[in-house]
């Protein structure tokens, strides 16, 4: 019946607490060297939106120059920390004032809060020997599990014919990769066969296949070998190191790219690198 009273719609709201999001950009100078304008714009937008959304953004660099810490970036980071620097210019670039060049090192730092007041504090210091001890302890706990998406090379896309393969083929490839990972996990933690390049048997066949892929596709990277041969990251890295030692590819540059030093023939066969 109609009573003339106002009708309100009720909506159940999810009031569960949101997690803290902390973004750490380590060594900003390397990113600015590769794509300065793009990185500067992305950091600026992220810093502006992060303050309103409750996202914590930490940026670090060992080269505090004006081309790394630009005025746009500095304006969006009101809270700053400076450890010991070599010159007064570096101190001015970070804090806007001198003083950081007189710090003692090993955790001694200047902390500038949002209001602009600088305070000298002592942060925790971890020596190189302590870092090596912690890393060695973690290695003894088990085999590392790497994320393939992190090491994937965006510039080296798969050929178009592979991009259109059916879902059944993708499922078979994923199943093969999963079985390969399971077989590697059953091996001992420091099995030299999984971490170093062997010299006989199945490893030699895999190495010849990797050479053929590199010379045919003219793409030399650990992630590319890992995807094409469906092997683990450690084995692919060992193969690339062996190629570098034997003079097939050059050392990796700052962007992780390698120059192919051997010209591949179109009619190259699997017996090209057979032992005599």
Regarding beta strands 21-25 and 108-112, do their DSSP bridges make them parallel or antiparallel, or are they unpaired? Answer: unpaired
DSSP 119: E
- State residue 153's pLDDT score: 64
- State residue 155's pLDDT score: 53
- State residue 163's pLDDT score: 47
Q: Where is pLDDT greater, at 36 or 95?
A: 95
Q: Per the structure block, which two tokens stand in for 217?
A: 């596709």
Give the residue from 203, 202, 208 showing the smallest Cα distance to 269.
208
Question: What's the pLDDT band for 178 if we cut at 50, 70, 90?
Answer: low
Give the containing element (helix H, strand E) for 221: none
Per-residue pLDDT at 199 exceeds 50: no
Which CATH number fits the domain 169-276, given the four candidates 3.30.2290.10, 1.10.10.10, 3.30.750.24, 2.60.40.10?
Answer: 1.10.10.10
Give the count of beta carbons closer than 10 Å to the beta carbon of residue 118.
Answer: 16
- Report yes or no: 61 and 69 within 8 Å, Cβ to Cβ: yes
The model's pLDDT over 247-268, given as tens digits with 9 standing for 90+, comes to: 888 888 776 678 888 876 444 4
Calpha distance 263→237 (Å, rounded): 21
Helices 222-229 and 202-217: crossing angle, nearest 10°? 110
Calpha distance 186→143 (Å, rounded): 10
Task: Provide, rounded to the nearest whole percent, the portion of the chain with pLDDT above 70.
Answer: 75
- Report yes or no: 103 and 84 within 8 Å, Cβ to Cβ: yes
Give backbone dihedrals phi and psi of 206, rounded to 5 degrees, phi first.
Answer: -65, -35
Q: Per the structure block, which two tokens stand in for 168?
A: 């059944």
Q: What is the value of pTM for the model shown?
A: 0.46
Strand partners, 120: 110
Structural domain boundaries in the chain: 21-122, 169-276
Ordered DSSP codes for 169-216? HHHHHHHHHHHHHHHHHTS-TT-HHHHS--SSTHHHHHHHHHHHHHHH
- Whole-Å CA distances, 11 to 7, 17, 61, 79: 13, 18, 47, 40
- Report yes or no: 184 and 237 within 8 Å, Cβ to Cβ: no
Could you tell me the end-to-end alpha-carbon distance of the chain, in angstroms, rounded to an integer?
Answer: 97
Give backbone dihedrals phi and psi of 249, rounded to 5 degrees, phi first.
Answer: -125, 160
Per-residue pLDDT at 38 exceeds 70: yes
- Report yes or no: 226 and 233 within 8 Å, Cβ to Cβ: yes
């Amino acid at each position: 019946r109609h009573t003339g009273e106002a009708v309100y719609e009720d909506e159940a709201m999810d009031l569960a607490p949101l997690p803290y999001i902390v973004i750490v950009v380590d060594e900003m100078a390397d990113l600015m060297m590769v794509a300065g304008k793009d990185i500067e714009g992305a950091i600026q937008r992220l810093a502006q939106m992060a303050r309103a959304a409750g996202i914590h953004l930490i940026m670090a660099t060992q080269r505090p120059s004006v081309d790394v810490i630009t005025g746009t970036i500095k304006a969006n980071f009101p809270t700053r920390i400076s450890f010991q620097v070599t010159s007064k210019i570096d101190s001015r670039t970070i804090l806007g004032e001198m003083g950081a060049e007189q710090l003692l090192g090993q955790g001694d730092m200047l902390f500038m809060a949002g209001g602009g007041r600088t305070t000298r504090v002592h942060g925790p210091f971890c020596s190189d020997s302590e870092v090596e001890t912690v890393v060695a302890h973690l290695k003894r706990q088990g085999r590392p599990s790497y994320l393939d998406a992190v090491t994937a090379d965006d510039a080296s896309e798969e050929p178009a014919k592979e991009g259109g393969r059916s879902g059944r083929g993708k499922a078979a490839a994923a199943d093969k990769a999963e079985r390969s990972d399971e077989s590697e996990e059953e091996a001992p933690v420091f099995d030299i066969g999984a971490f170093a390049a062997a010299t006989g048997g199945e490893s030699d066949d895999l190495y010849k296949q990797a050479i053929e892929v590199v010379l045919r596709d003219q793409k030399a990277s650990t992630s590319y070998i890992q995807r094409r041969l469906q092997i683990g990251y450690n084995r692919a890295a060992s193969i690339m190191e062996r190629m570098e030692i034997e003079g097939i590819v050059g050392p990796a540059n700052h962007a992780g790219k390698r120059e192919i030093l051997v010209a591949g023939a179109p009619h190259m066969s699997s017996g090209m690198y057979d032992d005599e």
